[in-house]
Structure 1
Amino acid sequence: ATKAHIKLNTKKLYQADGYAVKELLKIASVLYSAMTTKGLEGSSLGQGDVSKFKFDLGSKIADLKAARQLASEITSKGASLYDLLGKEVELRELRTEAIARPLEINEIEKVMRIAIKDILAQVQKTKDLLNNVASDEANLEAKIEKRKLELERNRKRLQTLQSVRPAFMDEYEKIEEELQKQYAIYLEKFRNLACLEQQLEDHHRMEQERFE
């Protein structure tokens, strides 16, 4: 706008309303005049030269969309900037008041001491937690080691018991062998008795049938 000697009211532009449109029309008028002048100059050229300067709208659609999006962003940013500038008076007073207010060293030291105390308390709490974790870990390791020793002792005791033959084992094996023999004799006698009982029952039945 400066190089084109166009005077714009930036405050009206930032308002993003009808006044901003009027300001933008100044630039649009200059651009339109330039395009019109260029079109008139081109009309004096020959037919072959005119075909070289035809405006291809199809190839400029992407540029048109980008320009439209950029214009929308400029309008939005301008509105935001206008709102912020509207709060500048109030903010300036608060800023000036904060800068002019004298610093109270005692109050600052008090706040710093409280903050340092809180941080030290948190550090100590973290250290205590770490110490507790280390203590618990040591206790668990001691218990695990104790269980390992007990397991090893029981394993050795089992191996010892398995390797030692009891004193009564020989007698037990003899009695077991004799018991198997007696059981075989019992089975044989039981089968014989069952066979004799069956024969006796058949004999009684035949005798009864004869008398009938």
Structure 2
Amino acid sequence: MSFRDLRNFTEMMRALGYPRLISMENFRTPNFILVSEMLLWLCRRYEPQTDVPSDVETEQDRVFFIKAVAQFMATKAHIKLNTKKLYQADGYAVKELLKITSVLYNAMKTKGMETTSVSEEESSKFKFDLGSKIADLKAARQLASEITSRGASLYDLLGKEVELRELRTESIARPLEINETEKVMKIAIKDVLEQVQKTKDMLNNVASDEANLEAKIEKRKLELERNQKRLQTLQSVRPAFMDEYEKIEEELQKQYSSYLEKFRNLAYLEQQLDDHHRVEQERFEEAENTLRLMQNRLKEEEKRLLKSGNNDDSDIEIQEDEGSDSEEEDRQLIKQRTAMEILMQGRPNKRIVGTMQGGETEDDESSEDSEIDLDDDEDDDEDDLEDDSMEISPSKANRRARKPEPLEESDNDF
């Protein structure tokens, strides 16, 4: 007896609906009354119409009860019980009782599953699918036809049994003739001798075939040895083209390494060139924006000066102030030079020609045009800007304020 078996038995009996509470301590000592009650309840649970005697007062009644239960379970449920263990009525009887309870418990579980399946079938309006049973149906039909044919043949043979019985008895009762028996035995002996001779011939042929096969095997072995020796000589001999092959392989390795290095350098230089172009483009755009701002500022200042000059009386003479005129011209020159330097940094290959004309004097003196040439090199451009003279001839006499002309842009300008 094990604790697990006892626990499973009590749980199954509780699930089956046994009215009495079963404890694990009930089977520590023999308790035949409890075992008899459970056996009787299980038998009636299996078949309510069973006729099992319930008298267990005397020893003979108990033996008869155990035998009746075992016979009932063997015939009805095909369960083989050990009557000795059941008669002990202790923990060993639990294993025998567990056989019956497990069958009933599994039946109860399958019944619950069938009820659920029946409910599902009812919900599906009693639909039944025979697709999965086609193979079983074909096998059943084949077996039925085979049983019918075998039964018919058996019936025919049994019908001939009367005639065959007479013939069999006649042949048995007939006395044996020695001459016929001797002839039959001689014929049988002759057949056996022929078979023996054939077997001997086959054995002799086997021996000759074995000798031929051994000769062929030896021949193949010799050829194999010769081929192996030839292979070893060919492997030991160095081919004539092997030196050239190794040289070409080394050169190929060098060329491949140089190719990898050049390819890597080329990729790096392309990346650097792309970065340089991007930086130059950014600087160029920045210079364009700066120059545009400077031009807008210069135009605004010119407009402001023009407005201030128009407000002055044309008949009033401007006092000679060479210091103020020169300062105004210097500021304009500084602004223009700054704009030129920015343009030169952004687009060094471009040339900008600008003119600045002052106002006319009373003696109709005209100012000369100023030109600024920009070269490709930035250092040379700065020197040229310093050396170039931007000649502006201010009138020593009084002059009136006049709007200066804007910068003239060349065709290559923005």
TM bracket, shorter-chain basis: 0.3 to 0.5
Greater C-alpha radius of gyration: 2
More helix by share: 1
TM-score, structure 2 as length reference: 0.24
TM-score, structure 1 as length reference: 0.45
